[in-house]
Amino acid sequence: MKKFISKAISLALASVMMFSLAGCGASTAQDDAQTEATEGAESTEGGSTQAASDANIVNVGITDALGGVNPLMMDQTNINKYAAGLQFLPLMELDADLNFQPMLADSITTEDNKNFVVHLDENATWSDGTPVTAQDVEFTFLRLASPVIANSTMMLYRFEGVGDADYPFVEEGATSVAGVTVIDDKTIQFTTKEPIALTTFQSTYACYILTLPKHILEQYSDEELMTLDWFNKPDVVSGPYMLQEYDANHYISYTANENYWKGTPNIEKLNIKIVDSSQVYAGLQSGEIDITLPSMTAIPQEDYENIEALENINVVYGAPITNQSVFIQTANITDARVRQALLYAIDRNQILEQLMKGHGEVVDGFLSSAGPFFDESITPTPYDPEKAKELLAEAGWDGSQTLRFFVNSGDGTFVKAAQVMVAQWAAVGINVEVQTVDLAALMTLAGTTDYDMFAVQYTYVPLDPYPDMGWLLGGEGSWTGYSDDEVNEALTATQTASNVEESKGYYSIVDKKMQEDVPMFSAYIISAQGAVNKRLTGVNVDVYGFFNNIHEWDIAQ
């Protein structure tokens, strides 16, 4: 899910999502739009579509809604990032083994954790043959930091010359900034105000700054760039694919960039199909969907075994990385004892076994066993409804209040889990009303305090959970409204820790505080199912690195 720490971020995120084309992950209208998402598909009886087995086209099925395709205006939810990142490469990207892989950059180094030298690949070029340069990176940074564009989701105030957490922008019309120095055409240096870990720079900035072509876009003002139609069908890209058209509710269609500097993609046409979770199994079975992703396709658990049985499909289960997080707005639920009671009252292991078929784990806090900072000594809060009742009595809870709990309508499994949780909360005297909304609407809501709880799948980067933790626990304006001095000190200390064990100790402080104060909790960590049609080769379905080598995908002969 989208990222980064600032008191102003949630409000900015809301404005970004409202500006973007809102999608609807669970829209029933999707049934009528399948043909739009599958060029070259053959119509079959009943009005559905089936991809021809020899067609040079791949359909990726996801259940998340698209927020937008303009890299300057969107937040960093997975679907938005990849929809744009297929065209405008990041500097680095994580692979399935949690290593940073070169994309536009071939190296990023630092000697003091303040000055980060980025060297671009000498071969990196735009699709029109123009080299990708450090000037392109600087131009993109300045646009992202523009007070006119006002996208504060990138936390650029960490760099010299950019404002602060409350105003994370440069001066309007700035053509340079102290924190970004072009050394030569292929080398650029970023300078931060305070030390940050190299992994933080890589995961927060190198993976999320999508460099844009200065020689194409410098003619436009920042106001024009906010709504520029060029982004809807760009003709100059650095990535493997070029956007042709999209419907934010139903599909994103691409054609191969024949001039991709890493090699022309073997797959001529690529579609990202936005479907309801109930449609995934049928789509995989018929061939309308070739690939599903552990991080972006919420497959109903009751379909897992059916998908495993499909003869045309290979199934994988991702590492337990994606957290089904529940965020509590502490400005509305102010008593920590009530928040603790919410956690004691639900049987998370039962939910994991019954709804997730055991594909995952139960932990407290942010971190899963997949990452290096997981503290196995932190025992998850047990299911104890009597303890929940005691805490509520101590807090003077009279049961008259109804809490508003918002969940993503595109995640059918968690919609069911939420109903189980509501029943268990009711059993201890907590009335909760579930409201289902699509992902775009949920993210807009997150920028307000007009909720008591909301839940969303959130992947905390195992190598660097610091930015997400800091943002989500960033006090007023964050998704939790929670701030604690001990937590802040521990998070800050992770940025200068000398080794993994030292960092692990600081992150453990944070997760233990989550048990005590409960501004958020993990309903469960998902080991989600992914799938790929056997007709494809070179496809590595995993939480990270999925699109890194997409140009090498091919059709089995």
Q: Which domains does the chain have, with CATH numbers?
A: 1-86+239-318+529-557 (3.40.190.10), 88-225 (3.90.76.10), 322-526 (3.10.105.10)
pLDDT of 186-206, one tens digit each?
999 999 999 988 988 998 899
Location of structure tokens 């909301």: 454
Q: Could you please report the per-residue DSSP string of 447-461?
A: TSS--SEEEEEEE--
In the chain, the amino acid numbered 369 is S
Residues in the chain: 557
User: Quick one: pLDDT at residue 9?
Assistant: 33
257 pLDDT above the threshold of 60: yes
Between strands 115-120 and 180-184, the pairing is unpaired
Least confident of 136-145, 277-286, 360-369, 461-470: 461-470
Q: What is the rounded average pLDDT of the residues 215-236?
A: 97
Between strands 529-533 and 313-317, the pairing is antiparallel
The answer to whether the Cα torsion of 474, 475, 481, 483 is positive or negative is positive
Classify 533 as helix, strand or coil. strand
Q: Give the C-alpha separation, 117 to 134, whole Å.
A: 11
Most confident segment among 13-27, 48-62, 369-383: 369-383
18 pLDDT above the threshold of 80: no
**pTM for the model:** 0.74
In the chain, the amino acid numbered 160 is E
Beta-ladder partners of 455: 326, 407
200 membership: H or E segment, kind and range = helix 198-201
Q: Which two tokens stand for residue 102?
A: 């070169």
Q: Encode 189-205: b = buried (16+ Cβ within 10 Å), e = exposed.
A: ebbbeeebbebbbbbbb
Q: Give the C-alpha separation, 213 to 216, whole Å.
A: 6
User: Quick one: pLDDT at residue 134?
Assistant: 98
